[in-house]
Amino acid sequence: MKIILPRGLEVDLDNIPEDLEEQVQKCFAEYTRGTRPDFMYHDKLLFIDRMAERAHRAKDADDAVMDAMKDCLEYRVNTYGEIPNASDYLDTVFMEHCYNLGQRSTRLYDHEFIKDQGNYDDKIMKVLCRAIKAVMDYEWGNDGING
């Protein structure tokens, strides 16, 4: 199983590279190229946000809402034998559900990154911890790219 971090960094969860930190720092150096050093913390946090989104395989908002609507339809048909009304999608319960889905897709911690895929959640969290530390430890000019 593989996850793809920002800048296309592919990590095989069954064979995590020993030099993961160096690879992450190289990707981050490319990501932050051209940024003034005093704004690098902005880039660090944005890069970490992108890592969380990638680990969750976050969808575009339109796709995520459409999937939530389909799930609602399927649930109502299977459970009650009825098709939901348009008003069921406009109520605050459904909107709250969509909001929570969006929030969840950006969290660093999740016990269900990948449903029904074995023990990959722990591996993903370990990769994220190592990658976050690598980004936070990155210093301007120590990479030969910036500085």
56/114: higher pLDDT: 56
Q: What is the largest CA-CA distance in the chain?
A: 64
The closest alpha carbon to 25, from 137, 147, 129, belongs to 137
Work out the pLDDT band at 112, boundaries 50, 70, 90: low
The neighbour count for residue 59, using CB atoms within 10 Å, is 15
DSSP state of 85: P
- Dump pLDDT digits (tens) for 123-138: 888 999 999 999 999 9
The residue extents of the domains of the chain are 1-58+108-142, 60-104
What does pTM read for this prediction? 0.75
